[in-house]
Amino acid sequence: MNANSQTSAEPAPTGADFRDLTLDEVEQMVAGAGERSYRARQILHWVHARGAESFDEMRDLPAALRNYLKQNFTIGHPVSSFVSRSSDGARKLLIRLDDGEAIESVIIPTEKRVTLCMSSQVGCAMACEFCATAHMGLHRNLTTSEMLVQIPAARRELAGGEELTNFVFMGMGEPLANYPRLVRTLTIMTSDWGMGISPRRITVSTVGLVPMMERLLGETPVNLAVSIHATTNELRDRLAPINQRYPLEVLLDACRKLPIKRRSRITFEYVMLAGVNDSLADARRLVKLLAPLRAKVNLIFYNPLAGSPLRGSSRAAVEAFQAILNNGNLTATIRESRGLDIAAACGQLYAEQHNPA
Ligand code: SAH
What pLDDT is stored for residue 85 in this prediction?
87
Instruction: Taking residues 19-38, report their average pLDDT.
Output: 95
Query: 226: closest CA among 273, 294, 164, 278?
Result: 294
Residue 170 Cα to ligand 1 middle (Å): 7
What pLDDT is stored for residue 88 in this prediction?
85
Residue 130 Cα to ligand 1 middle (Å): 8
**Percent of the chain whose pLDDT exceeds 70:** 90
| Ligand 1 atom at minimal distance to the Cα of residue 172 | 4
Which segment of 1-15, 209-223, 294-308, 318-332 scores lowest on mean pLDDT?
1-15
Average model confidence (pLDDT) across the chain: 90
Decide: 205 in ligand 1 pocket, CB within 6 A: yes
Query: 292: closest CA among 242, 346, 329?
Result: 329
Q: Is the pLDDT assigned to residue 178 strictly greater than 60? A: yes
pLDDT in tens, 180-231: 999 999 999 999 999 999 999 999 999 999 999 999 999 999 999 999 999 9
Assess contact for 213 and 254: CB atoms under 8 A: yes
Query: What domains can you pick out in the chain, each with its CATH number?
Result: 18-72 (1.10.150.530), 80-354 (3.20.20.70)
Name the more confident of 29 and 348: 29
Query: 76: closest CA among 177, 6, 171?
Result: 6
Residue 131 Cα to ligand 1 middle (Å): 6
Cα-flanking dihedrals φ and ψ of residue 248, to 5°?
-50, -45
Give the pLDDT band of residue 78 (cuts 50, 70, 90): confident
What pLDDT is stored for residue 350 in this prediction?
58
- Cβ-based burial of 324 (10 A; exposed 0-12, middle 13-18, buried ≥19): middle
What pLDDT is stored for residue 30 in this prediction?
95
124 catalytically annotated: no
Of the CA atoms within 13 Å of residue 351, those in its CB half-sphere come to: 20
Assess contact for 327 and 286: CB atoms under 8 A: no
What pLDDT is stored for residue 335 in this prediction?
85
Assess contact for 304 and 340: CB atoms under 8 A: no
Of the segments 68-77, 91-100, 190-199, which one has the largest average pLDDT value?
Answer: 190-199
Q: Which of 117, 128, 255, 346 is catalytic?
A: 346
**Angle CA 334–339–341, to nearest 5:** 130
pLDDT in tens, 263-312: 789 999 999 999 999 999 999 999 999 999 989 999 999 988 888 999 99
Decide: 104 in ligand 1 pocket, CB within 6 A: no
Give the pLDDT band of residue 60 (cuts 50, 70, 90): very high
Instruction: Taking residues 38-52, report their average pLDDT.
Output: 96
Largest CA distance in the chain: 69
Q: 243: which DSSP letter?
A: G
pLDDT in tens, 115-148: 999 999 999 999 999 999 999 999 999 999 999 9
User: Could you give the CA distance from residue 329 to residue 308 in angstroms, rounded to a whole number?
Assistant: 34
Decide: 178 in ligand 1 pocket, CB within 6 A: no
Cα-flanking dihedrals φ and ψ of residue 356, to 5°?
-60, 140
Query: Could you tell me the strand order of the sheet in which 114-117 lies?
Result: 80-85, 91-96, 102-109, 114-117, 166-169, 202-206, 223-227, 266-272, 295-301, 331-335
**Percent of the chain whose pLDDT exceeds 90:** 80
Q: 266: which DSSP letter?
A: E
What pLDDT is stored for residue 82 in this prediction?
78
Assess contact for 86 and 351: CB atoms under 8 A: no
Q: Which of 104, 129, 146, 269 is catalytic?
A: 104
Q: At what angle do helices 315-327 and 280-290 cross, to 10 degrees?
A: 40
CA-based end-to-end distance of the chain? 33
Assess contact for 76 and 145: CB atoms under 8 A: yes
Ligand 1 mutation pick, 269, 278, 340, max ligand atoms within 8 A of CB = 269
pLDDT in tens, 142-177: 999 999 999 999 999 999 999 999 999 999 999 999
Q: Is the pLDDT assigned to residue 5 strictly greater than 50? A: no
Decide: 302 in ligand 1 pocket, CB within 6 A: yes
Question: Looking at ligand 1, which residue's alpha carbon is closest to its atom 18?
Answer: 131
Instruction: Taking residues 301-329, report their average pLDDT.
Output: 95
Decide: 213 in ligand 1 pocket, CB within 6 A: no
Residue 125 Cα to ligand 1 middle (Å): 13
User: Could you give the CA distance from residue 283 to residue 291 in angstroms, rounded to a whole number?
Assistant: 12
